[in-house]
Amino acid sequence: MTPPRAVPHAAFRTVLLTPVDGPPPSAGVPGTGFEARVHSPAGVRSWLLTTVRTVESPAPRSFVDEHLALDLTAPGAARWRRHADVLHLGRTAPVRARDRLSAVLRAFPGCAVATADGTDGTRFVLARTGGRLALRTSPPAPALVLGSLAHAWLAAGGALTELVAPAELLAPTAPAPRPGARRGA
């Protein structure tokens, strides 16, 4: 079991969003790609976060977001849930996902983004702003990572509806996890 005092450190995320050159997300649709580097005690993972924006809307510059992201199913997480910016509630049936995510946001006013794993493989993200996503990615992006990416995008002034399913760019990199630590960004 993780000692409760270690949970905030393990839950701390830094996300660096940097615009990248490349083609728009799909032919004929204006868009911008961002490299999203998620730093956590488990290591660094890079994701390609694609956004759909109108031509008139400029893409933001590089942006750094720091927040706490907790998996509510992890031992010791309950102690810190009132301080988290992103909360993951675990697995849920797709028909109940929106209600359960809304309940998390109501119960924890400091939480900006709630996530869940659907029993059908869908990842659900609901933001306090009212924006929501239901994504299937291949390979599947962990819902807590999606929550961190969504939080960073919202903190940068974006809208959740502008996001397209992210793709992992690189395998996890240093630092190596501590023995007995949970993997994942």
CA dihedral 99, 104, 108, 110 (to 10 degrees): -90
What's the pLDDT band for 86 if we cut at 50, 70, 90?
A: very high
Whether cis (ω within 30° of 0) applies to the bond prior to 58 is no
pTM of this prediction? 0.80
Percent of the chain predicted with pLDDT > 70: 73
Cα(6)–Cα(101) distance, integer angstroms? 26
Give pLDDT tens digits for 33-60: 888 899 988 888 888 888 876 555 555 6
Tell me: pLDDT of 171 over 70. no
